[in-house]
């Protein structure tokens, strides 16, 4: 596995990451880490590599855009001194353009998204042992659907920054596209954004595979 023993792995993002995690810091007992993919990653790492004792921390916040991440970056990332950091952001940056089209002041265009994410990666990469960038996604099989097409543009930014920074990239959209070849979006998320347990498990599985944990296919 790419994570060294006793590494501290921090996840940051929006509601997909948050999933009811504890405040102010998402770690500890009684589902403090949340009920989504972060908790499943913690379980998979603990079950597959118990001797590594990986410390997983969830700093997701529902509704966040990359602007919000920038505002809390010092306290919620840098001050926690992670060895590894995973970032999943961009869904609300796109979604607000579609569900609140008359509120342009809260829209985060792709240029601002790339500029801000690049800044955060640049500030943090030198102090990390490892970085994982995860693409935003929309659980929609038609790539021509407007929100899906826009989301793919933001995903392309993540892939580009991953290559430039030497980060691992988890293509979450590709994970859902594979599932969508076999089921309707409603079987994975009621709103095509917030996954059910199947969707969260698919994200968690892709993440642990990216960091070098073998998860056998059924």
3-state helix, strand, coil in the chain (%, to 5): 50, 15, 35
β-strand partners of 12:
59, 87
Active-site annotation, residues: 15, 191, 194
Q: Tokens representing 119?
A: 């800044």
Residues near 211 by beta carbon (within 8 Å), at least 6 away in sequence: 1, 2, 3, 84, 130, 132, 168
CA 143 to chain centre: 21
Strand 130-134 and strand 168-170: the pairing is parallel
| Alpha-carbon torsion, ordered 87, 93, 96, 98, to 10 deg | -110
Q: 53-85 burial, b if ≥16 CB within 10 A, otherwise e?
A: ebebbbbbbeebbbebbeeebeebbeebebbbb
Instruction: Give the H/E segment covering residue 154.
Output: helix 146-165
């Amino acid at each position: 596995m790419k994570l060294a023993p006793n590494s501290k792995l921090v996840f940051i993002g929006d509601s997909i990451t948050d999933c009811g995690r504890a405040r102010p810091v998402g770690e500890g007992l009684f589902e403090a880490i949340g009920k989504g993919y972060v908790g499943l990653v913690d379980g998979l790492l603990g079950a597959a590599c118990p001797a590594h004792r990986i410390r997983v921390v969830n700093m997701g916040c529902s509704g966040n855009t990359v602007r919000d991440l920038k505002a809390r970056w010092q306290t919620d990332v840098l001050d926690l001194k992670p060895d590894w950091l995973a970032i999943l952001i961009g869904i609300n940056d796109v979604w607000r353009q579609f569900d609140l089209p008359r509120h342009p002041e809260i829209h985060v265009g792709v240029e601002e998204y790339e500029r801000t994410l690049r800044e955060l990666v640049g500030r943090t990469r030198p102090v990390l042992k490892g970085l994982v960038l995860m693409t935003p996604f929309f659980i929609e099989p038609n790539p021509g659907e407007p929100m899906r097409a826009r989301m793919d543009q933001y995903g392309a930014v993540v892939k580009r920054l991953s290559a430039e920074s030497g980060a691992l990239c988890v293509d979450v959209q590709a994970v859902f596209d594979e599932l969508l070849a076999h089921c309707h979006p409603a079987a994975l998320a009621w709103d095509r954004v917030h996954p059910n347990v199947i969707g969260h498990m698919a994200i968690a599985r892709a993440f642990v595979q990216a960091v070098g944990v073998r998860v056998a296919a059924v």
